[in-house]
Amino acid sequence: MKTFFTRTASALVFVAVMLGGILWTDYSFFLLFFLIGCLALQEYFKLLRHIDPDYAGISSWHQWGATISGAAILLTFTGNNFAVAHIPTGFIGWWITIIFLMVMPLGEVLMSKNFELKNIGYSAIGLLYVTIPFGLLIYLRLHAIDITYKPGEVGTAPGWLIPLLLIIFIWINDTMAYIVGSLIGRTPFAPAISPKKTIEGTVGGMILAVAAAGIYGHFWGSEYLAQQHWIALSLIAAIFGTIGDLIESKLKRMAGVKDSGKIMPGHGGFLDRFDSLLLAAPFAWIYVQFFMIR
């Protein structure tokens, strides 16, 4: 019972913080996902140290280079929206990224006692896997896009819309997959990675997430997006969100840990909460660029 109340309380705080950060202002959105991105990257590095003990021996130059590069990459996605002393933060982010991406391998070569090229690769993959998706979410929030929001009509979608929809669709997919899997799940989906997932639950969650998006988009959501966009974004969230969840589960299994972190009582770490978003966000960004912008 105590665990249930702990999970419920932390979940309510989590939802309040997320909604506030996403909907309040551009600054709150950036600060929210900047913080999440930086902490999730540290959890990824922690998993790597469990997976490959050699990574624990990287130099402090490498550690700081990778960490600051991740923060700077997130800054680059702000473009000209924010400024420090009249200098766009996006421009500042680019230069910091370039400098510290150079520091990371140089520090590893010169300062590490046992130089391992693979350690640079591990860090680079982390920047691609963790940092870039959060940067693309920030980009979607800060850069207004002209889209077809009704059949035959063009308008400007609110910046918070696409990121919020992705999170909602992922939540619906996960919740429905759990419920359907609990009721009728029999066939393991990926037993070597996530034994509790079933094919019935996974497929059921996807179908119900897409159905919910299609119904809402048809009757109430046309004010914001055409129905095909509601369906497409829910498909992206369901399919690639599920794959993203499996990827993080695989990393945790390789590391021999249950959770990526313990920042959220009863809910694990930031990677645990946003693993689905890490793969869904890039594909949603691609969809927006090719099929929604007018």
Write down the pLDDT at residue 233.
96
Same domain? 112 vs 190: no
Same domain? 210 vs 105: no
Which of 143, 160, 193 corresponds to the end of one domain?
A: 143
Q: What is the pLDDT of residues 186-202, one digit of tens each?
A: 888 888 888 888 999 99
The answer as to whether 7 is a domain residue is no
User: Mean pLDDT lowest for which of 123-132, 161-170, 216-225?
Assistant: 216-225
Same domain? 169 vs 139: no
Say if residue 51 is exposed, middle or buried (CB neighbours under 10 Å; 0-12, 13-18, 19+). middle
Q: What is the pLDDT of residues 108-132, one digit of tens each?
A: 777 767 777 888 899 999 999 999 9
State mean pLDDT over 20-28: 92
- pLDDT bucket at 1, cuts 50 / 70 / 90: low
State mean pLDDT over 28-50: 95
Q: Where are the beta strands (DSSP E) in the chain?
A: 83-84, 87-88, 145-150, 153-157, 188-190, 194-198
The pair of three-digit structure tokens given for residue 151, joined into one six-digit string: 């059949």
State mean pLDDT over 233-261: 93
User: Mean pLDDT lowest for which of 31-45, 81-95, 143-157?
Assistant: 143-157
Residues 185 and 127: their CA atoms lie apart, in Å, by 36
Q: Is 107's pLDDT higher than 80?
A: no
Write down the pLDDT at residue 274.
93
Quick one: DSSP state of residue 24? S
Write down the pLDDT at residue 13.
81
Which residue in 58, 125, 68 sits closest to 100, CA to CA? 68
- pLDDT bucket at 101, cuts 50 / 70 / 90: confident
State mean pLDDT over 92-98: 94
CB 71: neighbour CB atoms within 10 A?
18
Residues 227 and 117: their CA atoms lie apart, in Å, by 48
- pLDDT bucket at 249, cuts 50 / 70 / 90: very high
Residues 227 and 210: their CA atoms lie apart, in Å, by 11
Which of 143, 162, 182 corresponds to the end of one domain?
A: 143
- pLDDT bucket at 153, cuts 50 / 70 / 90: low
Write down the pLDDT at residue 150.
53
The answer as to whether 70 is a domain residue is yes
Strand partners of residue 88: 83
Phi/psi at 150 (5° precision): -135, 155
The pair of three-digit structure tokens given for residue 132, joined into one six-digit string: 């870039």
The answer as to whether 12 is a domain residue is no
pTM attached to this predicted model: 0.92
* Average pLDDT score, the chain: 87
State percent of the chain over pLDDT 90.
56
Same domain? 256 vs 130: no
Which residue in 123, 221, 116 sits closest to 168, CA to CA? 221
Residues 164 and 162: their CA atoms lie apart, in Å, by 5
Q: Is 272's pLDDT higher than 60?
A: yes
- pLDDT bucket at 144, cuts 50 / 70 / 90: low
Q: What is the pLDDT of residues 204-217, one digit of tens each?
A: 999 999 999 999 98
Which of 95, 124, 143 corresponds to the end of one domain?
A: 143
Same domain? 257 vs 158: yes
Write down the pLDDT at residue 294.
66
The tally of domains found in the chain comes to 2
User: Which helix or strand (DSSP H or E) is residue 52 part of?
Assistant: none
Residues 124 and 271: their CA atoms lie apart, in Å, by 17
The answer as to whether 122 is a domain residue is yes
**In terms of residue numbers, what domain contains 278?**
145-294
Q: What is the pLDDT of residues 169-190, one digit of tens each?
A: 999 999 999 999 999 988 888 8
